[in-house]
């Protein structure tokens, strides 16, 4: 659906994007994750044809952005990082304007507003909006066209938690309809919640590209589990350690531990039960994505392979 082929972008002396290649499949939610200034916005602008790559090329459905930008652009809806609307307009007027521009009926605009929780602010002028309301309106506009591809730059910045949930719901619906979604964010929580695949960008380079699950597994080979008992006995600590539990930490109800292989947890669990332990709860402690992300960046700075 989208092919980014050895793309670089130079602004004067700044090499903002360095030899980046990736492909996005139809129906996928693809996230560009990276710190501020890493080149995400520049990549998105090249995807939508607002910037020309210094080197390399972008293909949308096999159409070369450098040659047939207008045709390729018709398939895309783009949410820029900063959106400005005239302050003297109201939300209804804005969505009607864009709906007309795209040849859609006016009901489409109202529906998009409702989806983003903007159904009841019709009388307010945009000049009186909070940052969160502006972002909701920008999202409603971006969700308007019947484009196959949505490209969104920091879509949840400024949104309150309810707005974030509404956004995620719309993204899930669009994904179910087979739309292709590319978004840039520096928010790990956002990535974890909606990404199918994640491209980690650092200093203009693609340092990792994989599913979010694989990314966690590649970076953190050891897992942490917790187990709690109806009644904790000292003997079970030893049983767990003899069966492969590492870095075991006890508390009043049970303990947490790591294992080298994910399968080892079953061995430990069985051994505990065989020794008469009455297990109350057992589960995996998810490593925070922040940790994963820092490790990827550390590894990339050292020049290690991070699973590309
Ligand atoms: P991100 O979206 O990841 O925060 P950007 O793509 O906005 O990163 O910026 C990447 C780098 O390119 C930064 O060093 C930024 O200062 C630089 N840059 C972005 N836009 C321009 C521009 N129009 N002119 C010169 N430098 C720019
Ligand atoms: Mg940006």
> Are the C-beta atoms of residues 76 and 60 closer than 8 Å to each other?
yes
Q: What is the pLDDT of residue 303?
A: 67
pLDDT at 307: 55
Average pLDDT along the chain, 308 residues, taken 10 residues at a time: 96 96 96 94 95 95 83 87 91 90 84 88 89 93 90 93 92 94 91 92 92 77 85 94 93 91 87 95 81 77 63
Q: Which atom of ligand 1 is nearest to the CA of 36?
A: 4
Q: Which helix (H) or strand (E) holds 298?
A: helix 289-301
Domain tally, the chain: 2
* Whether the CB of 42 sits within 6 Å of ligand 1: yes
Tokens linked to 78: 């783009």
Q: Are 157 and 77 in a shared domain?
A: yes
Ligand 1 pocket check for 38: Cβ under 6 Å: yes
pTM listed for this prediction = 0.82
* Domain match, 210 and 258 both: no
Give a yes or no: residue 303 inside a domain.
no
State the pLDDT at residue 277.
95
**Do residue 194 and residue 225 come from a single domain?**
no
Reference 195, options 207, 185, 206; nearest CA is: 185
Phi first, then psi: give them for residue 289, nearest 5 degrees.
Answer: -60, -30
Our answer on whether the CB atom of 80 is closer than 6 Å to any ligand 1 atom is no
Structural contact between residues 27 and 173, judged by C-beta atoms closer than 8 angstroms: no
Q: How far is the CA of 35 from the centre of ligand 2 (A)?
A: 9
Same domain, 130 and 236: no
Chosen domain end from 188, 217, 246: 217
**Cβ atoms of residues 129 and 158 within 8 Å:** no
Q: Are 151 and 44 in contact (CB under 8 A)?
A: yes
Q: Which ligand is nearest to the CA of 154?
A: 2
Name which residue sits closest to atom 25 of ligand 1, judged by CA.
11
* Domain identity same for 48 and 102: yes
56 lines ligand 1 (CB under 6 A): no
Say which DSSP state 125 is in: B
Say how far apart CA 230 and CA 252 lie, in whole Å: 11
Q: In this structure, are 135 and 161 located in the same domain?
A: yes
Residue span of the structural domain in which 243 resides: 221-285
Query: Domain of 47: which CATH number?
Result: 3.40.50.300
How far apart are the C-alpha atoms of 292 and 274, rounded to whole Å? 35
Residue whose CA lies nearest to ligand 1 atom number 19:
42
209 shares its domain with 181? yes
Q: Are residues 97 and 243 in the same domain?
A: no
C-alpha 43 – ligand 2 centre gap (Å): 9
State the angle between helix axes of 106-115 and 91-101 in degrees (0 to 180), rounded to the nearest 10: 130
* Residue to substitute in 8, 16, 151 for testing ligand 1 pocket (most ligand atoms within 8 angstroms of CB): 16
* 208 alpha carbon – ligand 1 mean position (Å): 20
Alpha carbons 204 and 184: distance in angstroms, whole number = 13
**Residue 181 has what pLDDT?**
97
Is any atom of ligand 1 closer than 6 Å to the C-beta of 185? no
How far apart CA 141 and CA 175 sit, in angstroms, is 18
């Amino acid at each position: 659906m989208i092919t980014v082929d050895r793309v670089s972008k130079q602004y004067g002396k700044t090499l903002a994007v360095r030899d980046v290649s990736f492909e996005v499949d139809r129906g996928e939610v693809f996230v560009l994750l990276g710190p501020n200034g890493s080149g995400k916005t520049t990549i998105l602008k090249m995807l939508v044809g607002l910037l020309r790559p210094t080197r390399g090329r972008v293909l949308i459905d096999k159409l070369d952005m450098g040659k047939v930008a207008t045709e390729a652009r018709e398939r895309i809806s783009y949410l820029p990082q900063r959106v400005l609307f005239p302050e003297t307009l109201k939300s209804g007027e804005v969505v009607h304007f864009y709906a007309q521009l795209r040849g859609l009926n006016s009901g489409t605009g109202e529906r998009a507003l409702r989806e983003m929780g903007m159904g009841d602010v019709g009388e307010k002028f945009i000049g009186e909006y909070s940052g969160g309301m502006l972002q909701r309106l920008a999202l409603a506009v971006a969700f308007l066209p019947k484009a196959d591809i949505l490209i969104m730059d920091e879509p949840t910045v400024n949104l309150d938690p309810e707005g974030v949930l509404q956004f995620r719901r719309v993204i899930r619906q669009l994904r179910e309809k087979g739309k292709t979604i590319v978004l840039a964010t520096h928010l790990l929580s956002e990535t974890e919640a909606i990404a199918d695949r994640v491209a980690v960008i650092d200093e203009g380079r693609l340092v990792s590209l994989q599913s979010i699950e694989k990314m966690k597994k590649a970076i953190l080979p050891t897992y942490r589990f917790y187990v709690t008992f109806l009644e904790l006995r000292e003997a079970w600590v030893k049983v767990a350690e003899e069966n492969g539990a590492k870095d075991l930490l006890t508390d009043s109800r049970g303990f947490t531990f790591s294992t080298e292989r994910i399968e080892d947890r079953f061995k430990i669990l069985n051994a505990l039960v065989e020794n008469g332990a009455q297990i109350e709860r057992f589960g995996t402690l998810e490593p925070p994505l922040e940790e994963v992300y820092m490790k990827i960046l550390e590894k990339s700075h050292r020049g290690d392979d991070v699973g590309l």
